[in-house]
């Protein structure tokens, strides 16, 4: 029988960082009692984003952060939109380069990820933020 | 009861720009009579794309356009593929950096977007274009 | 009647390249006997990715490869994470800029793609690799 389940989770962030959502997502999938289905993730913001990336070496995350910071530097001289701080417009750009929405597959109660893959919230802003991620699964019990 | 609904919408564009699709999408969702479901959006082109971005300050859109234009400049000297105009290859690149396909969640007849989020067609070409976006929803009536 | 079908396909790659998955995907869709549905694709790696791009002029693919190579050059001097080879960290970056997961729509047994669109695996690493892509469709028979 096909059913749907929803949950909104809140993640407190504290500066530019990658924060693993894998455990929270797996917990939600288990609680949904859905064996097989599609899980759609939506971050309800445009200055933080979602990515599936390496979960092993933390240096990969540092290099990712550095790369995006060089690509869209935090400098008010570069952007027209500067009233919300030098980190705001680069955050919108980084968000557009990664993902706001991600669909992942569930099979046998498990999120289909590779051995080295994790799902992360990518925070792009410097100050503390309260981020909402909407989890939504359609599948069979 | 789970059902599916489809619609292909056509958007006329006139140069590099972000064009809001949020109203058209919400109209389609209402007409589908689906309460909860997943809406998949596909742009059927590779020189325009889809993004979820800030819907408030128009300067954010100008900065996004400027950023992508600097990243993949319109110049035939930079690319092998130049027969379709100096804006064609950069358009393919910009399309690959953003999204051709986007899955969003519907709950209580509403597209799950944050307060400051809108869904946009991102036109990358200089001349007038006729763009097709395929809307497809699976959900419960 | 709504059903689900799954398949994991393996693609052998040999250096940086775009490899068309369109035929394999269409074959899977046909074999699934699903008329209308959503097909979710997941690449189970973080140094190769998925993109929907031009399927006509091979120069577009060369320009895409060149663009991403310039954007995230293969050089150990640029990254902290360098133990897995000069091509590994750039591969993670290129993967984060494109897609690990892609949802496409199926209508009347057909993947909804534009005339010039194909679905590709984008290999970012230099050495031979064995890549797994998970295909998952929810739809109606």
3-class secondary structure for chain C? Answer: CEEEEEEEEEEEEECCEEEECHHHHHHHHHHHCCCEEEEEEEECCCCEEEEEEECCCHHHHHHHHHHHHHHCCCCHHHCCCCCCCCCHHHHHHHHHHCECEEEEEEECCEECCCCCEEEEEEECCCCEEEEEEEEEEEEEC
Contact B92 C54 (CB under 8 A): yes
Residue ranges of chain C with pLDDT lower than 70?
Answer: none
Residue C35 to residue C26: CA distance in whole angstroms:
12
pLDDT at C62: 98
For chain A, 141 residues long, the average pLDDT of each consecutive 10-residue run is 98 98 98 97 98 95 98 96 96 98 98 98 98 98 94
Q: Which residue of B has its CA nearest to A88?
A: B60
Structure tokens at A108: 């046998």
Structure tokens at B128: 């007038």
Q: Quick: pLDDT tens for B87-132.
A: 999 999 999 999 999 999 999 999 999 999 999 999 999 999 999 9
Distance from CA of B45 to the nearest CA of C (A): 6
Please report residues of B whose CB lies closer than 8 A to that of C51.
96, 100
pLDDT at A12: 98
Pairing of strands C48-54, C17-20: unpaired
Instruction: Tokens 């092993």: give the residue.
Output: A56
Q: Quick: pLDDT tens for B29-62.
A: 999 999 999 999 999 999 999 999 999 999 999 9
Residue B35 to residue B16: CA distance in whole angstroms:
35
Q: What is the CA radius of gyration of chain A?
A: 16
Residue A126 to residue A14: CA distance in whole angstroms:
7
Contact C53, C60 (CB under 8 A): yes
Q: Quick: pLDDT tens for C95-125.
A: 999 999 999 999 999 999 999 999 999 999 9
Mutation target vs C (from B28, B77, B101; most C CBs, 10 A cutoff): B101
pLDDT at C61: 97
Q: What is the dihedral of CA B114, B118, B124, B126, to 10 degrees?
A: -150
User: For B36, which of A4, A89, A96 is closest by C-beta distance?
Assistant: A4
Q: Order across the sheet with A117-123: list the strands.
A: A17-20, A117-123, A48-54
pLDDT at A75: 95
pLDDT at A100: 98
Residue B101 to residue C19: CA distance in whole angstroms:
19
pLDDT at C121: 98
Contact B116 A46 (CB under 8 A): yes
Q: Is the dihedral of CA B38, A95, A52, C17 positive or negative?
A: positive
Give the number of beta-carbon pairs within 8 Å between B and C. Answer: 87
* C115: region left, alpha or beta (phi > 0 left; psi from -120 to 50 alpha): alpha
pLDDT at C115: 97
Does the predicted TM-score (pTM) go above 0.95? yes
Q: Quick: pLDDT tens for A118-139.
A: 999 999 999 999 999 999 999 9
Distance from CA of C41 to the nearest CA of A (A): 8
What are the φ and ψ backbone dihedral angles of A116, each rounded to 5 degrees? -100, 15
């Amino acid at each position: 029988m096909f059913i749907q389940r929803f949950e909104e989770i809140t993640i407190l962030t504290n500066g530019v960082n990658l924060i693993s959502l894998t455990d929270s997502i797996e917990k939600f999938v288990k609680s949904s009692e859905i064996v097989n289905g599609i899980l759609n993730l939506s971050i309800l913001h445009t200055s933080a984003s979602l990515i599936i990336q390496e979960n092993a070496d933390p240096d990969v995350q540092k290099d990712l952060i550095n790369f995006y910071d060089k690509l869209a530097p935090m400098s008010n001289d570069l952007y027209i939109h500067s009233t919300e701080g030098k980190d705001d417009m680069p955050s919108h750009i980084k968000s557009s380069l990664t993902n706001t929405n991600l669909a992942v597959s569930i099979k046998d109660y498990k999120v289909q990820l590779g051995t080295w893959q994790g799902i992360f919230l990518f925070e792009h802003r410097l100050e503390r933020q309260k981020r909402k991620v909407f989890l939504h699964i359609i599948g069979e019990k």
